[in-house]
Structure formats: structure tokens, C-alpha cells
Structure 1
Amino acid sequence: MKKLSILLVVCLLGSIAIAQGDDVRGPISYPAPGVMDGVYMESNIPTKKVVPYEFVREADVIWSKKVWRVIDLREKFNHPLYYPLDDIEEGMWKKNTTRWSLWTIIRHHIMTGELTLYSPFNPNWEAWKDGDLFKYPVTSNNPGGTYYNDKEFRERMFIYVGTEKVDPFADPLKSLVYPDEDSLKMGADGFMEAVYPPSDTLWFKSKDIVQYKIKEQWFFDKERSIMECRILGIAPMVYARDNNDNITGFRELFWLYFPQCRYVFQNFFVQSSSNDAQRMSFDDLFWKRKFTSYITKESNLYDRDIDTYKAGVDALLESERIKEDIFTFEHDLWSF
């Protein structure tokens, strides 16, 4: 009877494992048969489901403010979003086999079509940068089209996840007919022009992402009597460079709609620096606000960023003032 009970338990556990396997997401390291990398199976994060937001009625929101803030990955506290680094060699994308950085997760799921990227500017007028309104989705024109099976979508997508490197000192290609002369072609203006080597196409890697900008909304819900913050969007940022490769500032690559991202972020581990048994998902990290940041803009009458009227230390103090105003408002609600 004992042998029969053990057999039934083993079969039941096997069926559960198979059922969960269909829902597993994220980089999972599968050892050889009969081997387990640890004393237990880490099945919670790879199979967990999104905890839905509470429904909020417009009539129940008595106060609201939108805030834009920057998460700087150069700060040590934010390194769980930055590491582990990936690499690209000879066209091969090398990723960690057990956990990915936030950028690796984002890029992978954009390429598979599970995340929709939004242009940070109006495609017809690049100077008009209102991508945080999620107005300009970059999607395939073919149903089910992804980076891997839609060439037109692949070309449009690349300008947001990669860059072209042009050598300003490159010499023109030599003519095949006259080796001592430069190769020429007809230009758009009807005149002949020299032919230069094609520019290199470079994918942005994890080490290139130096900041994330997030857009969030703080609001007070009188139905639940609670002050709450929900992230609306997230945008990876890289260094902006001139033609001589000098750093001139930062630039947004694209925007992602955060409620959609949650369905992806929920199944990827964030490494704990002190306790492997207390790992959380990237969705948990943002929900619990386990990051440091500073405010760059609040919804205001002039629709201006802080750096347009404050600079340096004054800009940081203005950021702290906005944060303090939000917390003071919440505190005053419960002061009697």
C-alpha cells in the first residue's frame, strides 16, 4: 500500500510539473536528467500570474498628478536592473542562461512581438517629442509579424534598438575597373559622388542603457481611502552622441506601455544581493518601488521640464520639493 501511495504522489507531482511547464517563461537553466541545480525547484517566478490593478472610477479620484522620473543605472542600488550584461559577437546574441537584465528582457520580447514599442517622437516631425503619450506604435503590418519573419518591420524597428556607426575618416571605395581611382555613383542631385563603405549597424546592449525614464500617476482614491501610484510607461535611455562620438546628453530610445510590460516582467528574476531565497520578479520590483530615482517633470501649467528653469543642485532640490509636496498632501489627509 505504501509503494502504491508513493507511486501516486510521484505521478501527481509529474503531472503538475508538466502542466506548469506550459506556462513557464524566462531563462530557465535545465540541467542534465536526474540533476537539480539547488535543493528545490524555483517554480514561483517562472509560472506566476500578474496581480491585477484595482479598478478605479473617475468619480472616485479626488486628486491626481502625473510625474516623470529617471532611474539612473549608474547608481549601485539600481544595479539589479542593469546586470547581468549581454554581448553580441559575430551576429550571435550572448545572454545569461538563468537571468536577464531588464534591457535583455525588453529587447527579446519586442523582437518576438510580445511588447509593443512606441516611437518617442512624431514619425512625421521628429522635433515633436510626445512619445510618452503612446501615440506612435511601431508594429508589423502583417498579422503575427515579428522581427524574425517580417523584413519591413525589422528595418523600422532597428532604428529604435540599434544605431549606425559612420566612420567620418573612411576613404572612398576603389573602382573595380580603374583600381587607382575612386568608385563613383550618380547622386540624387544628378552629379557623380564617391562611394564609401557601408556604415556599421550596432545593436544597443545592456551596458549601453544608462537610464530608464518612467511616467507615473499619483492619485487618491476616496472609494478605498488610499493614495496610490501606478507606472504608466517606461523608456530606456542611452547617451546622445555627436558625429565625433562625444557625449552630448541622453536620449530616449522608445516608450513601452507599462501595464503591458507587467505580463512579461512578472516571470523574470531580480537577483538579490544577500538572499537567493527572497528573489522577486521585475514586476515586484517596480510595484514595491525597489529603485532610486529623481523627478524630472510634474504635470504643470507650462508643460515644462525641471531642467528648463532649474539647473544642477537646484534641479535636484526642485525634484525633492515635488516629492515632498506629494507626501505632504497624503499626510495632511490623515491629520486631525
Structure 2
Amino acid sequence: MKSRVIKFCLFAFSFGLLVHDAKAQRRPRNSTSRDNGNNASTGAPTQQNNNTSAPTNFSAYGKLPVEVDSSGAGSTTGSGKSMRPDNAFGFKDSILNERTPLPYEFLRLDDALYAETVWRELDLREKMNQTFNFKGQEDNGDQNFISILLKAVQDGKVTAFDDERFTTPLALPEVAKRASGGTNDTIPVYDLQDASKIKSLRVVKKNFNPDDIKKFRIKEQWIFDREISRMVCRIIGIAPLKTEYVEGTRKELGSSVMFWVYYPDLRPTLARYEVYNAKNMGAQRMTWEELFESRMFSSYVTKSTLDNPGNKTIRQMIKDPILALLEGDNIKDRIFNYEQDLWSY
């Protein structure tokens, strides 16, 4: 009887050791994954980004491995060059590449009888400005105006500046960050065996969306040259305005300046891009440089240096949006009437 009791105790003790070892083998994997944030399969720490905007429903899945994908950050997609003539005229590269803007007429400071600096905004949703949103591909790339502008900056043909006085140049990574918004997207990675199971989260850089650019700001100067007896307009700089949205929605909060580009530096690039013409896509199309010099766009005045000792925008002085637009029209009329009043009929 005593030997049976001893055998039973030894069996119970051995079984307890086996159960304890089995639990000990399972516990380190779970505790390491939860306590230290390591990957359960590799033992390496998972990468996490504080800037990720993970959807709230991902919190129900607990601590999942996070993968960071650094490819595709805020740059415009290029287009391949056509291996055959894409039209009946043949290749037009030689014609486009040889186009140069006409040099400006020299203006003497002593001949400037009148000068006024004006800031304008172009709303691309207006009918006259629809050509700025043309989503077409040609041999020289995307024909959307913001894509042309970004490509010129990325290729080093023009320099992006942080301010409208062109004092602080921006590096290319900073331009790409401002274009994409500087945030990341978190997307789920589903299991190949079970499509309803999320095995990890992947952090990808948010791509630049050209549709977020709905306005452009232009800084220009109107000068009356008494030597030629007429008003001259010279564009100083162009800045794209990026639309800001409420996080997770498409509700607009406003717009902010991405960067400024010195327009005289941009003119040679604009002379090599043709403007979309809805009525005639013939060989003799207008270039972007000709469009700006011919003033073939719709805009409204947001600021002027005349009668503005506080250096404020119109909206800062006039809160009502309708009255602010009317004040911008008054500034346009004032510039026009100054030239007309100098003549006698």
C-alpha cells in the first residue's frame, strides 16, 4: 500500500513539472511582445511612428507589428516618353525645347512715376482657370500646373523659398514634406490565409494629391513708366496654396502657402509647356509664360501696398467677404484709372 502511494506522488510531481515547463515556454513570447514591444516572430523591436494617423478601429486589434514603408513620399509621378509620334505633326520636342521667353523691357528707376505692389489669388474652381487643372500626360510630363511647378523645383531649375521676399530657400525634402502634408497613413495588412484577420499595420508616407491645390497666390508690381507712357505689370512670385482639411474628413479648414517661387526664374520653364486649349489642340498652342504675360486668368486682389500702413490683407481690415471682394475691385479700378486720368481726350 505504501509503495502505491509513493508511485502516485512521483507521478503527480512529474506531471506538475511538465505543466510548469509548458507554461514557461509559452509565457516569454507573450510577455516580451506585450511588455517590450518586440515582434513575436523575430524578437526584433517593432517600429512605431508618433506621426501616424491610425484609424480608431485599429485599437481593437491590440499590439500588432507595425511596418514602416518609406517609399513614395510626396513627389509627382513622371510619365514615360513616347517612342512614336503621339500626334500627326511628328515629334515636337525640338520646337518646345527651343522656346525661350521674350526678355523684359528695361525699366529705369527714374522713369517709374507710380508703383504699387499687389497680391492676388487665383481660384482654380473658376471657369476661366480650368486650364490650370488639366490632367494630361505629354512627353515633358504631367500638364497639371502644380505638377509643372513641383517638377521644376525638384529638377533644380528654380528654387523654392519659405517667404514672399525670397530670403529663406527650402531644401527638397522640406518641399516634399510640405507637399504631402508631413503626415503618414496607416493601412492594415491582411493575412493571406484568413482575409478577415489583420496580421500587422503598415505605415506609408502620404502621397501628394494635386487636387489639394485649389488656389495660387501671385505677387506682382504695377509700374507706370513715363518714358513709354503706359502702365507695366511685372509678376514677382507665385505660391501654391494647399487646402487644409479636418483630420479624417474632407471638411476644409482653410489654405496655407506651400512655398514661393521667383517668377523670372520660372519663365524659361513655363515657355516649354503648352496650355490646354479646349477649342483647338493644334501645333500653335499658347505657352504658360504667354498666358501669364497676357493676363489670361481670373483673380481677385487680397492685398495692396497703397493706403496700407499696417501692411494688412483686405480680410484683416474688412471681415465681410463680400465687402472684401468689392474692396479688391476698387484697387483694380484705382490702378486702371491712374493711367487713364493721365490722358486728355
| Residue identity opposite 2:234 in structure 1 | R
In structure 2, how many angstroms separate the alpha carbons of the residues matched to 1:251 and 1:332? 38
* Alpha carbons of structure 1 residues 27 and 61: separation in structure 2 relative to 1, 3 Å: farther
Q: Which has the larger radius of gyration?
A: 2
Counterpart in 1 of 2:118? 67
**Does 1:113 find its partner at 2:156?**
yes
Counterpart in 2 of 1:55? 106
| Residue identity opposite 2:168 in structure 1 | Y
**Does 1:290 find its partner at 2:322?**
no
User: Does 320-329 or 158-167 show the bigger shift?
Assistant: 158-167
**Contact 1:217–1:232 (CA under 8 A) maintained in structure 2:** yes
Query: With structure 2 as the length reference, what TM-score do the two structures score?
Result: 0.66
* Alpha carbons of structure 1 residues 36 and 111: separation in structure 2 relative to 1, 3 Å: closer
**Contact 1:217–1:229 (CA under 8 A) maintained in structure 2:** yes
How many aligned positions are there?
250
* Cα distance, 1:197 vs structure 2: 6.7
In structure 2, how many angstroms separate the alpha carbons of the residues matched to 1:199 and 1:318? 47
* Cα distance, 1:199 vs structure 2: 5.5
**Contact 2:184–2:206 (CA under 8 A) maintained in structure 1:** no
* Cα distance, 1:28 vs structure 2: 9.4
Aligned-residue Cα RMSD (Å) equals: 2.7
Counterpart in 1 of 2:4? none
* Cα distance, 1:73 vs structure 2: 0.5
Unmatched 5+ stretches in structure 1: 1-25, 86-94, 120-130, 140-153, 172-195
1:65-113: per-residue Cα shift (whole Å, max 9, x none)? 000000111112111111116xxxxxxxxx5546611111111121111
| Residue identity opposite 2:227 in structure 1 | E
Unmatched 5+ stretches in structure 2: 1-77, 189-199
* Cα distance, 1:198 vs structure 2: 7.6
* Cα distance, 1:156 vs structure 2: 2.8
In structure 2, how many angstroms separate the alpha carbons of the residues matched to 1:45 and 1:266? 8
| Residue identity opposite 1:260 in structure 2 | D
Counterpart in 2 of 1:159? 177
3-state SS, counterpart of residue 206 of structure 2: strand
Counterpart in 1 of 2:333? 324
3-state SS, counterpart of residue 155 of structure 1: helix
Identity %: 31
3-state SS, counterpart of residue 74 of structure 1: coil
User: Does 208-217 or 309-318 show the bigger shift?
Assistant: 309-318
**Contact 1:68–1:216 (CA under 8 A) maintained in structure 2:** yes
* Cα distance, 1:268 vs structure 2: 0.4
* Cα distance, 1:204 vs structure 2: 2.4
**Contact 1:242–1:248 (CA under 8 A) maintained in structure 2:** yes
**Does 1:136 find its partner at 2:163?**
no
Q: How does 1:1-336 map to 2 (within 5 A)?
A: 30-32=82-84, 37-39=87-89, 42=92, 43-84=94-135, 95-97=137-139, 100-119=143-162, 131-139=163-171, 154-165=172-183, 200-245=204-249, 246-277=251-282, 278-299=284-305, 300-310=308-318, 311-336=320-345
User: Does 300-309 or 286-295 show the bigger shift?
Assistant: 300-309
**Contact 1:27–1:100 (CA under 8 A) maintained in structure 2:** no
| Residue identity opposite 2:174 in structure 1 | R
* Cα distance, 1:227 vs structure 2: 0.6
Query: With structure 1 as the length reference, what TM-score do the two structures score?
Result: 0.68
* Alpha carbons of structure 1 residues 330 and 63: separation in structure 2 relative to 1, 3 Å: same
1:22-57: per-residue Cα shift (whole Å, max 9, x none)? xxxx9896443xx67214654544421121111111
| Residue identity opposite 2:317 in structure 1 | Y
| Residue identity opposite 1:204 in structure 2 | F
**Contact 2:216–2:240 (CA under 8 A) maintained in structure 1:** yes
**Contact 2:82–2:139 (CA under 8 A) maintained in structure 1:** no
* Cα distance, 1:202 vs structure 2: 2.2
3-state SS, counterpart of residue 79 of structure 1: helix
In structure 1, how many angstroms separate the alpha carbons of the residues matched to 2:286 and 2:108? 30
* Alpha carbons of structure 1 residues 204 and 335: separation in structure 2 relative to 1, 3 Å: farther
